Amino acid sequence: MNSHFKSAFFLPLTVSLPYMRKQILAFSFLLTGYSLAIAQTWSAVGIGIKGNFTTLTTYNNKLYANGIDSLNGKAVSFACWDGKAWHNADSNLSGRVTAMAIYEGRLYAGTTEKLGANAIYRLMYWNDTLWTKVSTLNGPINSLIAFKGSLYAGGKFTMADTTKVKYIARWNDTTWRALGRNISNNVRAIAVFRNNLYVGGQFSEVLKWNGRSWESAIGSKSIRMSGWVKSFCMYNDELYACGEFNYLAKWDGTDWATVGSLNDGASAIAECNASLYIGGDFISSPGGDYSYHIARYKASTMSWACLGGVLYSGGDCKPYSGTVWALAEYKGDIYIGGQFMIAGGKAISNIAKLTSPEKTQ
């Protein structure tokens, strides 16, 4: 028997019935994970790194990760993966990264630095050596995107340096500009689709910038999001959205449509090898009742696949559950960050690499 099966499921002579039930449930998940993950390969991402990996972004042929606690036993808050090893990337970084985007050849990030009961929120950039402070805001940046020569930031802020804004602002390398006044709350996601800017967040609809103000992107079918949008992804010439609602949605420029139902919300979506990956709190998806926080959708065949799932074993809050917070494509593989101890039936903690057959086709 595999060593992690032995360590995880050796039962002492005196155990409670609830404990045995939990062990049997987790063991069943592992067996299911192995049987469902045959078509793809799950693997760990390096050694010596610990964290929750809440954000993943590729830059200069490396994969950058936020939510790091330590690397090789030393406290580290931000790191990058070069395909072979992890490296510290938090030199001069103030606080934790909350969002990332590439702009003007640099990696920009929103950061939050806790100071007792207060916090300082900044825009910073990384030059492959150290972080530089750019600007200060009065709330966190949740999303960043480069568009038409400017950097757009969305979040829960109403001041960017000395400029009054309303949850979104445009940075042009020297100053901030307000972008409309009719966004009502926290912006969680920004996307560019067919040369237009879209935002989603703590409001019940997706908004589109018309050059003067924000307008509702509802469509003739009047399908509204039933919860907050957390992530967008351009895929198959359509804009996909997920969030605190139990389905994956897509926008074709005219109407919204549901692609598939989930039993809970999703936090991240990313394209890799002509497929769309979705991760979050959900356990079941159209790909199967045991998707466990990650699934794959292929538009060319309109089909869903169960990938083996991820599982968090332990804790009082969600015993034998887990979640996926971040997804990113890197060198033809999909990387998954979140809170889990098992991925695809293997003992892998909080970050995993998934290689699918499409990579070699």
Query: Residue 152 and residue 169: Cα distance in Å, rounded?
Result: 6
* Token couple for 193: 């689709």
* Token couple for 23: 């062990």
Instruction: Find the angle CA(346)-CA(73)-CA(60) to the nearest 5 degrees.
Output: 75
Query: Residue 267 and residue 5: Cα distance in Å, rounded?
Result: 30
Query: Residue 148 and residue 139: Cα distance in Å, rounded?
Result: 25
Residue ranges of E strands in 196-332: 196-201, 207-209, 214-216, 229-235, 238-243, 247-251, 256-261, 266-272, 275-280, 294-298, 303-306, 310-311, 323-330
Bigger pLDDT: 318 vs 217: 217
| Mean pLDDT in residue range 173-182 | 93
Tens of pLDDT, residues 13-66: 343 444 334 444 444 444 444 444 445 799 999 999 999 999 999 999 999 999
| Mean pLDDT in residue range 197-203 | 95
Inform me whether the pLDDT recorded for 309 exceeds 50.
yes
8 Å CB contact between 344 and 354: yes
Identity of residue 285: S
Helix or strand run (H / E) with residue 252: none
Helix or strand run (H / E) with residue 331: none
Rg (alpha carbons) of the chain, rounded to whole number: 21
Q: What is the pTM of this model?
A: 0.88
pLDDT at residue 314 in the model: 53
8 Å CB contact between 151 and 138: no
pLDDT at residue 204 in the model: 80
Burial class (CB in 10 A: 0-12, 13-18, 19+), 28: exposed
Query: Residue 190 and residue 206: Cα distance in Å, rounded?
Result: 10
Instruction: Give the list of residues 6+ apart from residue 7 with CB closer than 8 angstroms, or none.
Output: none
